[in-house]
Amino acid sequence: MRQAKNEEMVSFFPKKQAMIVFLIVTLLLLIGTGMSVTIVLNTYYKLSAEWSLAILMALSLLFSFINFKVTRGSFSCANLLKYYTVLLVLIGIPAVLLQDTFAKQLFCLFNLAVLIATFFLVKSKIYHAYIQHQFDLINDIKEAQAIIEKEINRGRSRQ
């Protein structure tokens, strides 16, 4: 642990509330992605189940990569998640109007609610506190690795 600029100790684990918000955002974005792909492919396009699954898997892998970068303290990836959520909302709004049954409209509205909630969670201070903690932690690990490497090199040069 080290002392941060504001004299707080940077621990290995983030605060519980920040971790919970991160996990909720991850879960809601996975649900929102799946629902949005289902809505888009059934409303705008008529693709086979294989293509739908392939697109869903590709988007899920892309989301997982970006979310992994967030766990490493990347604020740019957090902004990317925010824009990704906005894009899914913008794609989903017209889909509500294009549905022919009430059940499909309700499904689209639920998807929009999930995505809007996710957007506000990604913008929250708690989520950004999690990212800042992860950023500080990764920097601490890099500093420790550099110190260890320096000591190893100094020990080798003495021999």
Q: What is the mean pLDDT of residues 3-13?
A: 54
Q: Is the pLDDT of residue 7 over 80?
A: no
Q: What is the mean pLDDT of residues 51-74?
A: 88
Residue 29 in tokens: 């974005």
Q: Is the pLDDT of residue 134 over 50?
A: yes
Query: How much of the chain is in helix, strand and coil states, percent to nearest 5?
Result: 80, 5, 15
pLDDT bin (cut points 50, 70, 90) of residue 13 is: low
The pTM of the full predicted model, rounded to 2 decimals, is: 0.77
Dihedral sign for Cα atoms in the order 123, 127, 129, 134: negative
Give CA–CA dist 105/88, Å, rounded: 16
pLDDT bin (cut points 50, 70, 90) of residue 16 is: confident
pLDDT bin (cut points 50, 70, 90) of residue 115 is: very high
Please name which of 20, 14, 29, 27 lies closest in space to residue 130, comparing C-alpha atoms: 14
Residue/partner pairs of 99-106 with CB below 8 Å, 24 or more apart: 99/43
pLDDT bin (cut points 50, 70, 90) of residue 44 is: confident
Q: What is the pLDDT of residue 12?
A: 60
Q: What is the mean pLDDT of residues 96-121?
A: 91
